[in-house]
Amino acid sequence: MTTRRTFMLHVVAGVAATSMAAQAWAEDRKPLPEDDPEARKFDYVTDATKVDAKKYPDFKPGDKCLKCQIYEDGPNNMGGCPIFAGKLVAANGWCNAFN
C-alpha cells in the first residue's frame, strides 16, 4: 500500500531526475552568439525587445523563444532549438523562424 509520504517521495525523485536530465543536455551545448553565421541567417537576437519591427511587421511584443512552438525549455533561461542544433538559445531571444 502506498502511503502519502511514499507517493510524495516518488514525486520529488521524479522532479529531481527530470531537472537533472534537462541540465545534462544543456551542459553539452553552448549559447548561440548573435554574430554566428547561422544566427545571422535568421536574424537571431538574444533579446526579443531588440527586434526590428519595421523589418518584421508580423513581430508582436511578447514574441520570444520561450513562446515559440519548437523551443525546448532548459535551465537558466536557455533552451534548445532544432534550427540551431547543438546550441542554446535565450528564452527571451527571437529569430525570424518564430512560430
Whichever of 22 and 83 has its CB closer to ligand SF4, that residue is 83
Nearest approach, Cβ of 21 to ligand SF4 (angstroms)? 20
Minimal distance, residue 34 CB to ligand SF4, in Å:
11
**Residue pair 64/48 in contact by the 8 Å Cβ criterion:** yes
CB 38 to ligand SF4: min, Å: 10
Q: Name residue, grid cell 535551465.
A: 75
Task: Return residues touching ligand SF4 (CB under 6 A).
Answer: 44, 65, 68, 70-71, 81, 83, 89, 93-95, 97-98
75 vs 83: CA distance, rounded Å: 19
In order of 5, 13, 21, 53, 54, the CA distances from 82 in angstroms are 40, 29, 18, 24, 27
Smallest gap from Cβ 25 to ligand SF4, in A, equals 15
Q: Give 3 or 99: the residue with its C-beta nearer to ligand SF4.
A: 99
Specify the residue, 19 or 39, whose C-beta has the smaller distance to ligand SF4: 39
In Å, how far are 2, 54, 81, 98 from 12, measured between CA atoms? 15, 47, 28, 34
